């Protein structure tokens, strides 16, 4: 059985008031949800995220 993963936007510095959080079966699915959320809730372009931003975001994806 696989372990699901979760991400809470409020864990990212400066996003403490954001209620967005996501749980999915795989890390890849969580990434897709994070990117979709960033586009629609924060008007961000995930393709513009730096390697450092992506590396930090990866640390915020936790086993559920």
Question: Tens place of pLDDT for every residue, the chain, 64 residues?
Answer: 578 999 999 999 999 999 999 999 999 999 999 999 999 999 999 999 999 999 999 999 999 9
Residue 18 buriedness (CB in 10 A; 0-12 / 13-18 / 19+): middle
Query: What share of residues in the chain are helix, strand, coil (percent, to 5)?
Result: 50, 15, 35
What is the pTM for the complete model shown? Answer: 0.91
Sign of the alpha-carbon torsion through 42, 10, 21, 63: positive
**How many Cβ atoms sit within 10 Å of the Cβ of residue 52?**
8
Q: What is the pLDDT of residue 25?
A: 96
């Amino acid at each position: 059985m696989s372990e699901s993963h979760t991400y809470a936007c409020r864990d990212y510095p400066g996003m403490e008031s954001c209620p967005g959080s996501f749980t999915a079966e795989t890390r890849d699915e969580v990434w897709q949800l994070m990117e979709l959320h960033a586009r629609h809730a924060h008007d961000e372009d995930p393709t513009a995220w730096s390697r450092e931003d992506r590396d930090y975001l990866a640390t915020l994806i936790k086993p559920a």
